[in-house]
A and B are shown apart, each in its own frame.
Chain A
Amino acid sequence: MMLTMRFQKAFRGPLGRSAVVVLAFFVGLVSLTASDDSETYSTNEAPQSIIVRAPHVQLATPSSIVVVWRTEKRINPVIRYGDDPANLLHAVSNQNITIRVALGTNRAEIKQALEKSPEIAHFPRLHSAVVGTWQYEAKIAGLQSNSKYYYAVYDGDTRLTGRDPSYRFTTHPLIGQSQPMRIWVVGDSGTAREGQSLVHHAMTLFTAADRRPLDFYLHLGDMAYNRGRDTEFQSRFFKMYEPTLRNVVCWPTMGNHEGATSKGTNGVGPYYDAYVCPTRGEAGGVPSGTEAYYSFDYGRAHFICLNSHDLDRKPTGAMAQWLKMDLERTKADWLIAFFHHPPYTKGSHDSDREKQLVEMRTYIMPILESGGVDVVLTGHSHIYERSMLMDGAYATPTIAENVILDDGDGDPNGDGPYQKSAGIHPNQGAIQVVAGHGGARVSRKGTIPVFRKIIVEHGSVIMDIDGDTLTGTMLNKFNEVRDTFSLIKRGRINPRRILNPWQPPNWRPPRSPGEDESTVEPPEDFIEVIPKNAEWHYLVDDDPEGLSWTQLDFDPSDWPLGPAGFGYADNDDRTVLSNMQSNYARIYIRREFEIEHADYVAEIGLMINYDDAFIAYLNGKEVARKGVGKGHGHEAKEIKGHDAGKFVYVALKDFEKHLKDGRNVLAIEGHNANKDSTDFTLDPFLIIED
């Protein structure tokens, strides 16, 4: 019971609730994702109360796969599997299941746990999961290649997963065997917001429509905003994609947001807890010795994952040395590399300026291109950008002259597919795809001249490889195809460099009239701790004594309650102060709110639409003042005029000194420049950086 409560506590709050809503939404999608065959089974789930992270498949090879799940208490883990969902004839238990446990960091609690169950001292630990969480990593070996299996998770003889055929997996084809494949490519998705869910939903509709399911999934990093914490992985990745992850392997690369809590150097952190990646060449490729970077084979294609975030990117570093060796060894026909930081972008990031991006271009791209890479998939920049066929663009800033080998659009229905020689040939051109548009807010800051398509929309990429043809489809969140490109590797092609290739049109950033560049924008990810249009206690046509009304122990019960915003005229008020004009010029409002861990709050601020001025207090201390020259309350002076119109962000000064765990109070006095003003607005809500 205690563990259950801890788990629930970890998931409470606005995001926990939204994740539940999203999960409910996806339950309806299960039948869609299972629609690759004619099986019609009910999704009759058995009770899963102790499963806190649903089973998901990892590290597929031609003869094995790993199923990972978590429970909130220790079980006797068993995986049963077979080729008939009604008869799971085989089982894996004990010695082939790695069991990991979260004991936390409290020494006394750890000691107590070890005294109670000494044997758990030998279990590897989970880095930062909720204390008492158990993770099971079951390797199912001895499988037939390219074969579909069904599975179920058991606690001893008790089945924990439902009799549902969507609990299945397909082993990889034999290395070197020609096999069509469909891959879902997503980056920068982990917000648990509508954009992410729509992008996922669009993929399920697209794959269901042509009855061609995914073979696997590449995530390009930033899957668990904002800091890749264990709870963020749960709500923003595993719950969001659960119907897909139970039967499709996600091969990940670490983004900078996961890098806030996980370290590539030692492979520790929630990211490394979440995934089981190859270290010893288990799925093909050269052993990397680390889960931070690795490679795997699928039929005649070789996939290379690099860590662009927190490992040495230089040619002398272990990662670049491994990359060179891996490229030397592979005998695949297709080479696909994926990592987080794009060598070329002008989306929300700039590859001409930022060190990680410059280094991936100048140090890593030459190794990839001399190894014959075909496609490079990246994220980080919240945009979709897709290049022409290019090679050797290592200069800073990036220029297009003499590095483009085919300046067509690559569209089979347009200028035609790009072409390379059959097999692997160095420096015959690669296509760069930035797919950081999987859920986080998209934006653009300029144009890199090697790109043929630049689209500022949420979406993902479906990549199909069939024999000598690779086709990429950019699908937006409304299931609309926004870009198609194709690469054919056939015969012998002699690439030529184009001196003056096609250039993307000029682009200028849109700018709002009167936009003030010096204002601070709100954090991109935030939680509303006092929601928009929340109810506040308010006082009008009177002035409270001193500042006691701003303090937590003040009793406002005789003040009326009303939803923000407050004011008159402009049609922008929910609590209309119809008698304010000509009678009074001030309003006092206050509302309490709760903060669970004040120490973890990095930034807190008001989103406020106001006319004309205000002073804000946090737990009795002034933390923001706009348009009030001096004084407060009825003694306030030098009130400046300010028109309402849009919400602006005002960070609260010195909040760390005043914000407390538990109850807090925000109080605001709003001022009109004069009583006869034609309008008044005070419409605040309070946000914290997520």
Chain B
Amino acid sequence: MAGVVSLFQNPRYCVLLVAGALSLAWPAPLPAHESPEKLINRYTVLMSEHGPSPLLLAQRAIEYRALGEFAKAAADLERALKLKPDFLSGQVELGRVYLALGKTTQALAAINRALEMVPAGEDRSTLLMTRAEAHLAAGDYDQALADSERAFQRSDINDLDWFILRGQLQARLGRWDAAISGLKEGLDRTGSAVLEAQWIEALIDAGRCGEAMEKIEPLLRESRWQSSWRLRRARARLGLGETNAATADLREAIMEINSRISADRPDITLLVDRGLAHALLGDTTAAEKDLQTARRLGAEGWLLFRLESTLAKWRKASRLP
């Protein structure tokens, strides 16, 4: 479920801050040519000359955030909200910064305060999705899914990450049919290849491997690099009991990944794919090694979900032939 975690730190909410909620009460912070350091200095000098204002504090917080200095950003936003308690976008931004700091309780409180100020509309849906992410970070999957489904009550959602998040939450809670139909709805609405792949993964997870195979074959044939689709086909074939064919796919996938992956500086997505292929082949040592490397490089959440769960199964069950 790392996709979910990553959404907390998703800078798109900065745009929300600027273009959405903030516009309700405040002029938008200035998009600037200058670097964050220069802007921080600028806002600091302006505030030393003219005193602090919520807007300048929020602008400085955004720049601190751009530099990854979340504690300073939180301090500025807290100060801004003392000066202007109904500063909606400040609340939203504070919630996001708390999430980046891992302070989920404070994040939920800030987002709840923001939700009180937004009774309806697009901004409320976005806030609900943000709260879903906060619940997820706190390990409360049920609440996270409930919020994401509330966010989807609007009919015009086309945010791909929202479809992915909801699908991942549904999968984690074993609601396969809902995950499949939700991802298919997103696929039909947007045509996104990512949602198509997620939908196929959900079909496999739900045991509908024959359907998945029909979708996988043409996509595999069209691809220059085939490891991702071979991996999916192997999972589907395992679901259909075609163990030998699955094993061949997994070995091909590993060979191709080895030819692409840099030993010193691996692409995380390939590393996780290779780990999963090793895990499905029963090579838990190699799989664990890839898992640890992926974690060290910053991989998180749902990117690792299948690899972790496959390894967990192997610890309990027998190996492939």
User: Which chain A residues have a beta carbon within 8 Å of chain B's beta carbons?
Assistant: 188, 226-228, 256-257, 259-267, 269, 279-281, 286-290, 309-318, 320-322, 324-331, 348-350, 353-356, 358, 362-363, 366-367, 369-371, 382, 391-392, 394, 402, 424, 426-427, 440-441, 445, 517-521, 523-525, 599-600, 602-603, 651, 653-654, 689
Indicate whether A354 sits within 8 Å of B45 (C-beta atoms), given known contacts A321-B194, A325-B228, A424-B224. no
Please name all residues of chain A whose beta carbon is closer than 8 Å to the beta carbon of B191 when the two chains form the complex: 279-281, 287, 289
Docked pose: A136 CA to B10 CA in angstroms: 34
Inter-subunit contact B12/A265 (CB<8 Å): yes
Any A CB within 8 A of the CB of B101: no
Inter-subunit contact B30/A362 (CB<8 Å): no
Docked pose: A525 CA to B36 CA in angstroms: 17
Could you tell me the distance in whole angstroms from the C-beta of A255 to the nearest C-beta in chain B? 9
Can you name 6 A-B residue pairings with CB atoms under 8 Å? A262-B19, A281-B191, A312-B12, A316-B301, A328-B229, A355-B68
Knowing that A362-B298, A441-B33 touch, tell me 12 more A-B residue pairs with CB under 8 angstroms: A227-B31, A265-B161, A269-B19, A316-B2, A318-B161, A325-B194, A328-B229, A370-B267, A427-B260, A520-B49, A524-B33, A524-B34
Please name all residues of chain A whose beta carbon is closer than 8 Å to the beta carbon of B244 when the two chains form the complex: none
Docked pose: A1 CA to B35 CA in angstroms: 45
Inter-subunit contact B267/A366 (CB<8 Å): yes
> Which residue of A has the minimal Cβ distance to B2?
A316
Could you tell me the distance in whole angstroms from the C-beta of A123 to the nearest C-beta in chain B? 16
Docked pose: A350 CA to B35 CA in angstroms: 7
Inter-subunit contact B3/A226 (CB<8 Å): no
Within 8 A of A (CB), among B4-21: 5-7, 9-12, 14-16, 18-20
Residue from the list A309, A329, A353, A518 in contact with B67, Cβ < 8 A? A353
User: Which chain B residues have a beta carbon within 8 Å of chain A's beta carbons?
Assistant: 2-3, 5-7, 9-12, 14-16, 18-20, 27-28, 30-37, 41-42, 45-46, 49-50, 65-68, 122, 158-161, 164, 186, 190-197, 222-229, 259-262, 264-270, 298-303
> Which residue of B has the minimal Cβ distance to A264?
B12
Please name all residues of chain B whose beta carbon is closer than 8 Å to the beta carbon of A269 when the two chains form the complex: 19
Which interface residue of B16, B66, B265 has the most chain A CB atoms within 10 A? B265
Inter-subunit contact B262/A324 (CB<8 Å): no
Instruction: Provide the main secondary structure of the chain A interface.
Output: loop
Docked pose: A301 CA to B67 CA in angstroms: 35
Docked pose: A441 CA to B33 CA in angstroms: 9
Please name all residues of chain A whose beta carbon is closer than 8 Å to the beta carbon of B160 when the two chains form the complex: 289-290, 318
8 closest residue pairs by CB, A with B? A289-B192, A289-B190, A316-B3, A392-B265, A318-B160, A370-B267, A366-B267, A314-B6
Inter-subunit contact B50/A653 (CB<8 Å): yes
Inter-subunit contact B224/A329 (CB<8 Å): yes
Inter-subunit contact A266/B192 (CB<8 Å): no
Docked pose: A599 CA to B26 CA in angstroms: 9
> Which residue of A has the minimal Cβ distance to B45?
A520
Indicate whether A317 sits within 8 Å of B10 (C-beta atoms), given known contacts A325-B194, A520-B45. yes
Docked pose: A249 CA to B46 CA in angstroms: 43
Please name all residues of chain A whose beta carbon is closer than 8 Å to the beta carbon of B50 when the two chains form the complex: 651, 653-654
Inter-subunit contact B16/A263 (CB<8 Å): yes
Indicate whether A366 sits within 8 Å of B18 (C-beta atoms), given known contacts A289-B194, A322-B193. no
> Which residue of B has the minimal Cβ distance to A288?
B192
Residue from the list B30, B161, B226 in contact with A328, Cβ < 8 A? B226
Please name all residues of chain A whose beta carbon is closer than 8 Å to the beta carbon of B164 when the two chains form the complex: 318
Residue from the list B7, B30, B268 in contact with A312, Cβ < 8 A? B7
Inter-subunit contact A367/B12 (CB<8 Å): no
Inter-subunit contact A318/B194 (CB<8 Å): yes
Indicate whether A328 sits within 8 Å of B15 (C-beta atoms), given known contacts A318-B160, A318-B194. no
Docked pose: A356 CA to B11 CA in angstroms: 8
Inter-subunit contact A309/B11 (CB<8 Å): yes
Could you tell me the distance in whole angstroms from the C-beta of A178 to the nearest C-beta in chain B? 18
> Which residue of A has the minimal Cβ distance to B20?
A263
